Structure formats: structure tokens, C-alpha cells
């Protein structure tokens, strides 16, 4: 399908564009009253994730309400552990909880992977098809997956954590098992992303949300090789790698065959360009808390950011938008970016 607003795709291809594209991580979610209304009509988050029509509806809400330049499919990174055999629940005010976690080799051996895992996620591909139909070519659609290390972290820890010390302990105590698990997760991710691309996504993003908890050595041993494998296996659409907090391995990401690198607010533009040159398009990196500031401040920050990054840049936050962010602040940000001209 011909995409009417293809600014994101032109930017990723390295073409000269009139302004940078803008979208927000976690744009499909609780900042929007429309989202909260749909969510309130259901008893759980997972019910929404598994309902293709409603997932498509909340995916499109930020396109209508905020006018962003891309849609990101409403889902969660935790559908992969679930498809592999580890069920999760999203507990109000607590976050994800896995009743059963990985502790020993036998737990890893029974996990489902590859196409067998990906084929359990038919509701995601249906949601993508529904979204594409309803978007009707307005903007590109982004598909995503968690990165192997971040998914392993949840599968070992069983919930969110400040330190993920159980998961990190496993890397030190059981490195062979950790690699076996990472390999299984990686195969599931590749089959899953391949199916998403077949369903029609235009770009995929890999979220390594807990990358910053690893040391550079651990990242190079347990995270980077698997991200490389995924990027090598996927060549049909451009890939964005967002390794949150991992400024210390930015230079290594140059060797990953992805097109775009997502940055959080702890990395300066200058440092990112020094590490990556113009080998990658950059995406990010406004501190989500900036969106609570007065509007003139938000606009100024947006402009500073666009000028500092220069060409080959996608405007976004340095992490997901926080649920209580004032909607008018978000709109001031998006509208100001859209009024910018290089």
C-alpha cells in the first residue's frame, strides 16, 4: 500500500527531508483518554493485547489525536515469553508478574521457540492486518520486539526490578544455560519479527530496556551477539535498536546491521555522532520529564534537539512517555516539531 506520509521511511533511507519525523515511545497508551476508555471496558491489559480490533483502535488513536508520523502496534514485549511457555500477568500498580520463572536447565529445555512460538501469536498478526486496513496508508506502521537480554531478565526475575540481580546472577553462575536461553529467545524473536513483516509492518524496533544494567563486558557477551543475529536475519525492513542506558557500547552498535539507533537522554548527540558517525540514523532522546515543563520550554528543547542532531534524525523521547504527562504538553511538542523546517 502506498504510504501518504512516508517522512519516517525517507529519513531512514537517508534522503533529504523537509523536517524530522516525530513519534513517541508508548504513544499508544495511558496518556490518551480514548485509550483509558477502551482499557476500562475490559478487565485486563492482556485482553486488549489479544483483541485485534481493539488493539488496532488504540494503535491508531495517537495518529488521530496527536498527528504523529508513525504508528506503533499496541502490544507488549512480554508476548514472546508467554508464547515460549511462560505465562505473565500485568498487576495494577506493580507491573508484569510471571508466576513461573526459569531456574534450571529443564525449564529452558521445555520452552517453545522459532516458528512454534511465533505461530502462537496469531492475534498480533491479525491486529497488524486490522491496523493496516484502518490506517489506510496514512503513516508507516512500526512493529517491535524485546531484545533477548531484556526478555531473559523478565523470564528469570519474574517481575520488574531495580537491579534485576537474579537475572544478572544467572549470567555469572550459569553462563552456558544463559546462552542456551538467549539462543532460544533469539530464534523466537526472529520468527516473530518475520511474521510481523509478512503481516505488513514497515519498520521494526528492538527494545533492550535493561541494557544499561549490564557491564560493557556482559553486554558484549550476553546482549550484543544476539542483537547482531536478529539484525542479520531480518533484511526486509529497516530495524531500530534501542539499548536503553547502554551509552558505553554505542561504538559497538556501529557493527550491528541496523539502520537506526535509539538514544536515551543520558547520551549526548555529540557523543553519539562521535561513536557512530553518519553510519546510523539517530532517534530520541528527549527526557520524558521535559514534557511536564511549560510549553515555551518544551518548544525550545525540541528545537535545540533538532538542530543538535542535524540530518538523519527521528524525533522521539529517550524512553516511553509517562502515563500522567499532560496531553497539551505532548501536543505542544509534536506540533512544534511538525512546524519546523530544515
Binding site for ligand CP3 (CB under 6 A): 25-30, 39, 45, 72, 74, 76-78, 90, 95-96, 144, 160, 207, 209, 320
154 tagged catalytic: yes
C-alpha cell at 111: 520452552
Catalytic residue among 35, 154, 192, 219: 154
| Whether residue 172 has a cis bond before it, omega within 30° of 0 | no
For residues 146-182, one letter each, b for 16 or more C-beta atoms within 10 angstroms of the residue's C-beta and e for the rest, the string is bbbbbbbbbbbbbbebeebebbbebbeebeebbeebb
271 tagged catalytic: no
265 and 284 Cβ atoms separated by less than 8 Å: yes
How, if at all, do strands 281-286 and 260-262 pair?
parallel
CA distance 287 to 3: 30
Pick the closer one to ligand CP3 by CB: 73 or 178: 73
CB of 274 to ligand CP3, least distance (A): 25
Beta partners for 207?
Answer: 146, 242
- Measured N-to-C along each axis, helices 165-173 and 148-157 cross at an angle, to the nearest 10 degrees, of 100
Catalytic residue among 10, 26, 36, 273: 26
26 tagged catalytic: yes
C-alpha cell at 242: 534501542
CB of 27 to ligand CP3, least distance (A): 5
Catalytic residue among 30, 138, 273, 297: 30
Pick the closer one to ligand CP3 by CB: 192 or 207: 207
CB of 292 to ligand CP3, least distance (A): 17
Pick the closer one to ligand CP3 by CB: 74 or 333: 74
Pick the closer one to ligand CP3 by CB: 174 or 206: 206
Catalytic residue among 76, 208, 252, 264: 76
CA distance 287 to 317: 6
Catalytic residue among 6, 39, 69, 125: 39
Pick the closer one to ligand CP3 by CB: 85 or 160: 160
CB of 266 to ligand CP3, least distance (A): 14
What is the secondary structure of 14-32 as a DSSP string? T---SS--B--TT-SSTTS
CB of 335 to ligand CP3, least distance (A): 19
CB of 137 to ligand CP3, least distance (A): 20
What are the residues whose beta carbons fall under 8 Å from the beta carbon of 54, sequence distance 6 or more?
Answer: 38, 42, 48
Pick the closer one to ligand CP3 by CB: 77 or 128: 77
Phi, psi of 30 (to 5 degrees): -70, -10
CB of 80 to ligand CP3, least distance (A): 11
What is the secondary structure of 101-144 as a DSSP string? ---SHHHHHT---HHHHHGGGHHHHHHHHHHHHHHTTSS-EEEE
Pick the closer one to ligand CP3 by CB: 77 or 231: 77
CA distance 55 to 49: 6
Active site residues per annotation: 26, 30, 39, 76, 154
Amino acid at each position: 500500500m502506498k504510504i501518504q506520509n512516508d517522512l519516517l521511511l525517507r529519513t531512514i533511507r537517508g534522503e533529504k527531508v523537509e523536517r524530522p519525523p516525530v513519534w513517541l515511545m508508548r504513544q499508544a497508551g495511558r496518556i490518551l483518554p480514548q485509550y483509558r476508555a477502551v482499557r476500562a471496558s475490559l478487565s485486563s491489559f492482556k485482553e486488549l493485547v489479544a483483541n485485534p480490533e481493539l488493539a488496532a483502535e488504540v494503535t491508531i488513536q495517537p495518529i488521530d489525536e496527536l498527528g504523529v508520523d508513525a504508528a506503533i502496534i499496541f502490544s507488549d514485549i512480554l508476548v514472546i515469553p508467554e508464547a515460549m511457555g511462560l505465562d505473565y500477568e500485568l498487576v495494577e500498580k506493580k507491573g508484569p508478574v510471571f508466576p513461573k520463572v526459569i531456574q534450571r536447565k529443564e525449564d529452558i529445555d521445555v520452552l517453545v521457540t522459532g516458528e512454534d512460538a511465533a505461530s502462537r501469536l496469531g492475534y498480533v498478526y491479525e491486529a497488524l492486518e486490522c491496523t493496516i486496513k484502518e490506517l489506510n496508508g496514512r503513516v508507516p506502521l512500526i512493529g517491535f520486539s524485546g531484545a533477548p537480554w531484556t526478555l531473559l531478565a523478565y523470564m528469570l526475575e519474574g517481575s520488574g526490578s531495580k537491579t534485576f540481580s537474579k537475572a544478572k546472577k544467572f549470567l555469572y553462575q550459569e553462563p552456558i544455560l544463559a546462552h542456551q536461553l538467549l539462543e532460544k529467545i533469539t530464534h523466537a524473536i526472529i520468527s516473530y519479527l518475520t511474521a510481523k513483516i509478512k503481516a505488513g509492518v514497515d519498520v521494526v524496533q528492538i527494545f533492550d530496556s535493561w541494557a544499561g544494567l549490564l557491564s560493557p563486558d556482559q553486554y558484549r557477551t550476553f546482549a550484543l551477539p544476539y542483537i547482531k543475529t536478529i539484525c542479520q536475519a531480518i533484511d526486509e525492513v529497516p530495524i531500530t535498536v534501542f539499548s536503553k542506558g547502554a551509552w558505553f557500547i554505542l561504538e559497538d552498535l556501529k557493527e550491528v546491521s541496523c539502520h537506526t539507533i535509539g538514544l536515551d537522554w543520558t547520551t549526548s548527540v555529540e557523543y553519539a555522532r562521535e561513536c557512530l558517525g553518519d553510519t546510523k540514523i539517530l532517534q530520541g532522546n528527549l527526557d520524558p520529564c521535559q514534557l511536564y515543563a511549560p510549553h515555551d520550554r518544551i518548544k525550545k528543547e525540541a528545537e535545540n534537539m533538532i538542530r543538535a542532531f542535524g540530518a538523519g534524525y527521528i524525533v522521539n523521547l529517550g524512553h516511553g512517555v509517562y502515563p500522567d504527562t499532560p496531553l497539551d504538553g505532548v501536543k505542544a511538542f509534536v506540533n512544534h516539531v511538525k512546524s519546523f523546517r530544515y
